[in-house]
Structure 1
Amino acid sequence: MSIAGFLAGANDYVTKPVDAMELKYRASSLTSMKQAVNDRLRMEAAYLQAQIHPHFLFNTLNSIMSLSDFDTVKMKDLSDAFTTYLRISFDFLNAGKLVSLSQELELVENYVYIQQQRFEERLQVEWEVDANLQLLIPPLTIQPLVENAVRHGILSRAKGGTLRIHIETHAEAVHFIIADTGIGMDEAQVSKLLQPKSLKDQGIGLLNTDRRLTQLYGQGLKIQSIPGVGTTVSFIIPD
């Protein structure tokens, strides 16, 4: 009976006759454990956001300042996008376990806009997102994947490439796909991306996102890549 219960999703069990004190302490222990997991997920999201790359901040500020000499309208648009990006980023530091999909996508939109203003034709973006889709997701789930695709995939090619963001509901789950036509990777490189020992070389974005998704939904990121063709990162969240 206990095996069947655990397979069905139970975290613990008690046998009859039930001791009231034992039941009380078991319930208290499970509640504390759940709270500890939620706190850890929130801390990991905050830690992830604390890793905003200084070069992205400095390069964006330099772009804004350089525009002041010849295109003040574009400078204002870029400044507004940068301000919104920072505001949402800092809001996520105080966010709970989940945030709305619209908040996450607003962060992504501003990040992409900033990079497009800086790199122009080298970065093309295709959005395939259901405008009516309402969903709560872990904060900073999509943005790190997009940033990784842009920085390490597309902008690593002299001619740049295309970023594709696809989100759709299918079979009682929401499917997320972040694909790029960047430099791609071989199987050996892909296999190292989600290994803790690769943190020094790859940063914490992919690993952190994969860990949080796995803890919450039982499955994390799937990565497919072909050298010279591009990379696709996908994940699923139950609807």
Structure 2
Amino acid sequence: MLYIALVSSVIAVACAGELVRRSLHNRRHQRVLAADATCATLHTAALAAPALRRGLEPESAGRAIRHVRTLLGGAPVAIFDTREPLSSSGVESAHLAEATKLAAAVIAEKRMHVRKISCDDPSCQLDSSIAVPLVADDEPLGALLVFSPTAAPVLVNATREVARWVSGQLELADLDRSRARLADAELRALRLQISPHFVYNCLTAIASFMRTDPMRARRLLLDFADFARYSFRSSRNLTTLDEELRSIDRYLALERARFGSRLRVTVRVAPEVLPVNVPFLCLQPLVENAIRHGMEGKPGLGSVGVIARDAGAEVRISVEDDGVGMDPARLREILAGEAAESAGIGLANIDGRLRSMFGDSYGLVIETGIGAGTKVNLRVPKFLPHHHG
């Protein structure tokens, strides 16, 4: 009997062990399924996001709609702006008129509606509609509508969350547009800071060569025209380093006409970085500052150096002069926008544009001191996000 009892105990333990093993296996299997579902959802969201980041328009809605439908388990879906349907998938035309009225209601009230739908088609299996407003900065931009045989709680919750995610993408789209408008405004402001004093001095220098050296005067006029054309061309936030340096070369030709042999300029650029995109007008104001503060108020020769070198994933650029330098406290005021523009042409503007485009770690780094000259360092990533162009 004892032997039988021992055998029974062993069998019970073995069975319990097998149950535990199966339970652990099932849990692992469930975790794998959950992880796969999460990955699939994130992948689908990633496919829809680029279109939604362009804003709520017919083309962007049309590109995103099938991915949004996938996120909602394949239920028929429609996306509306505040006036009309932009795109739909799986929605019969007979339902769009009723859907348009429902979209208008949820947009006006800024809250979700779940309603029964009426349909004259006896074969139609759709019975319910779920409508959620799409909101950015607390303002309704449109609505997301989902149709289903039944308004199951899980679908209602899923529709609410997908609409919230779509709204987030639309807010990012609005932020992108705001950043673009700000960048254009900053660029216009920078153009206005191109010194009228510089223009006057250039024209005076050119006029001085009209009789003594007409060919040089002609070349300088062409340089001035090319420099002005580049500086005031249609707004574009990025240019190539090669184009920026060509404009600087024309600018330097004009300044050499003013200062003659007093101005010494060294430019060293690694050829492989010439095609890299840089912010438009990010270097010319720095060179103008270097000449202005390196030459004015200092007797004798003045030196300016421009260096651009390859640093792996970045281009590192420096503009240096051996002029009178600046009090670091004064420099901090300039970068904070607390000093007059004449104190440092465009420094705060360029610093802000670099940070806005590439992140705070890409702001200007300036080395200076009274009587010690000034060196301005900047870094530009070689590979830029598409929307910065």
**TM-score, length basis structure 1:** 0.87
Equivalent of 1:175 in 307, 316, 321: 316
Aligned to 2:127: none
- Is contact 1:180–1:230 with CA below 8 Å preserved after alignment? yes
- Structure 1 residues 186 and 197: alpha-carbon distance in aligned structure 2, compared to 1, 3 A threshold: closer
What is the aligned residue count?
223
Q: Provide the rounded CA distance (Å) in 2 between the counterparts of 1:125 and 1:137.
A: 22
Evaluate the alpha carbon distance shift between residue 147 and residue 204 of structure 1 in structure 2; reply closer, same or farther with a 3 A threshold: closer
**Contact 2:315 / 2:379 at 8 angstroms: preserved in 1?**
yes
- The aligned counterpart of 2:222 is 80
User: Are 1:138 and 2:279 an aligned pair?
Assistant: yes
**RMSD after superposition:** 1.9
1:32-69 Cα shifts (integer Å, max 9, x gaps): 11121122112211221122211111111111112112
The answer (yes or no) to whether the contact 1:222–1:233 under 8 Å persists in 2 is: yes
Question: Greater Rg, structure 1 or structure 2?
Answer: 2
1:209 equivalent to 2:367? Answer no
Aligned pair partner of 2:332 in 191, 206, 228:
191
1:151 paired with 2:292, answer: yes
Shift of the alpha carbon at 1:227?
A: 2.7
Letter in 2 for 1:169: D
What is the one-letter code of the residue matched to 1:25? S
Q: Structure 1 CA distance, aligned partners of 2:342 and 2:251?
A: 23
Contact (CA 8 Å) 2:286, 2:345: kept in 1 or not?
Answer: no
Separation in 2, partners of 1:163, 1:103: 20
Matches within 5 A, 1:1-239: 19-91=161-233, 94-133=234-273, 134-202=275-343, 205-218=346-359, 219-239=362-382
User: Following TM superposition, where does structure 1 have runs of at least 4 consecutive aligned residues deviating by more than 6 angstroms?
Assistant: 15-18
User: Which structure has the higher relative contact order (CA within 8 Å, separation 6+)?
Assistant: 1
Distance apart, 1:138 and its partner CA: 1.1
Change in 2 beyond 3 A, CA 1:30/1:74: same
1:108-130, CA deviations, whole angstroms, 9 ceiling, x for partnerless residues? 11111100111011111001102
Q: Match for 2:366: what amino acid? A: I
**Aligned equivalent of 1:4:** none
Q: Identity across aligned pairs (percent)?
A: 30
Deviates more, 1:33-42 or 1:152-161: 152-161
Gaps of 5+ in 1: 1-14
Residues 155 and 161, structure 1, Cα contact 8 Å, conserved in 2: no
Measured after TM superposition, the shift of residue 168 of structure 1 is 0.6
What residue is the counterpart of 1:7 in the other structure? Answer: none
| Cα distance in 1 for residues equivalent to 2:380 and 2:346 | 18
- Measured against aligned partners, the alpha-carbon deviations of 1:146-201 in whole angstroms (never above 9, x if no partner) come to 10111122333111311000001114211010001111123333332312111355
Q: Which runs of 5+ in 2 are unaligned?
A: 1-156, 383-389
**Cα deviations by residue, 1:76-107 (Å, 9 ceiling, x for unpaired):** 1211111111110111xx23221111221111
Q: Which amino acid aligns with 1:31?
A: A
The letter for the 1-side match of 2:377 is S
